[in-house]
Amino acid sequence: MRPALAPLVLLLALPALAQGTERHLYLDVHTFTPSLSGHYTGTSDGNAFNVDLKNDLALERDKTKLGYGIEYQGPRFGVEFSRDEQDYTGNNRVQRNISVNGQTFFANQTVISSFKATNNTFNWTIRPLVWPQFWVGIDLGVRATQVEMSAYASSGLTGIQAAADYKGTLPVPQLGPSLGFTSMEGRVVGKAMYHLLAYRGCTYTHAGADLRVFPWSWLGFRAFVDDEHFRIPKGSIKDDLDITLDRSGLGLGVVARF
């Protein structure tokens, strides 16, 4: 991390030159419906996992609840907190034995599953370079993704019913560059970011772009894209679990500006 921090420290000396960008408080509600794929393999607290979210469970989007965000954006820094939730469900005849939290579901059983992801994001954007209509910054924050997974199977052949559920949280630091702009006298506001983390064999990337249009000075619409990838090998940070998660999608929302 040290080589990466060096240019950041240099950039931190520049906010004193910042000027331009106005101070605003944003409140927004939004929907975000990312695709989901990935797998859990290994053990957690001694319980076996061996399940692929797409190939085994065939998870598909079920419903997206309204998310919300609150943020302050000023000339030198911005702070934001946002939360959103997505539900996925699956109903699939598994082609192999799979395990969820120590419970085995046998090949050829029809497994009914659900997967709920709740994301809480806190982000602090430091803006070392600010021009009247453009800025370049550094994001520093954390995004905690709480996963609730459940699976159920009832065998017509054996009469055996099995169920398993699992809840785990993946808190991931958010570090990376960001940039933004304003135009049309503040009626169009945009920003983009790329967060990257490599730690103990894990890699995490999170890229996004957010465009806001304000027909009224205090009320506007928001569209954003978000692309997130977890690669967590066994024995790194999450017990003895090998986890991959890929989420990507488009979000839409309404945003108030003060």
Name the site residues for other proteins (rule: CB under 8 A).
5, 8-9, 12, 15, 44-45, 47, 100-104, 106-109, 124, 126, 140-142, 144, 146, 155-175, 199-200, 236-239
Residue whose CB is less far from other proteins, 18 or 59: 18
Q: Looking up tokens 């000339």, which residue turns up?
A: 75
- Cα distance between residue 253 and residue 245, in whole Å: 25
Residue whose CB is less far from other proteins, 90 or 253: 90
Answer for the pair 96, 56: CB distance below 8 angstroms, yes or no.
yes
Q: Shortest distance, CB of residue 173 to other proteins, whole angstroms?
A: 4
Residue whose CB is less far from other proteins, 12 or 66: 12
Q: Shortest distance, CB of residue 59 to other proteins, whole angstroms?
A: 17
H or E stretch including 4? Answer: helix 2-12
Q: How many CB atoms lie within 10 A of CB 132?
A: 9
- Cα distance between residue 213 and residue 49, in whole Å: 45
Residue whose CB is less far from other proteins, 163 or 219: 163
Q: Shortest distance, CB of residue 57 to other proteins, whole angstroms?
A: 16
Q: Shortest distance, CB of residue 216 to other proteins, whole angstroms?
A: 35
Q: Shortest distance, CB of residue 19 to other proteins, whole angstroms?
A: 17
Residue whose CB is less far from other proteins, 1 or 219: 1
If you ran DSSP here, which 8-state letter would residue 15 be given?
Answer: G
H or E stretch including 254? Answer: strand 240-257
Answer for the pair 244, 38: CB distance below 8 angstroms, yes or no.
yes
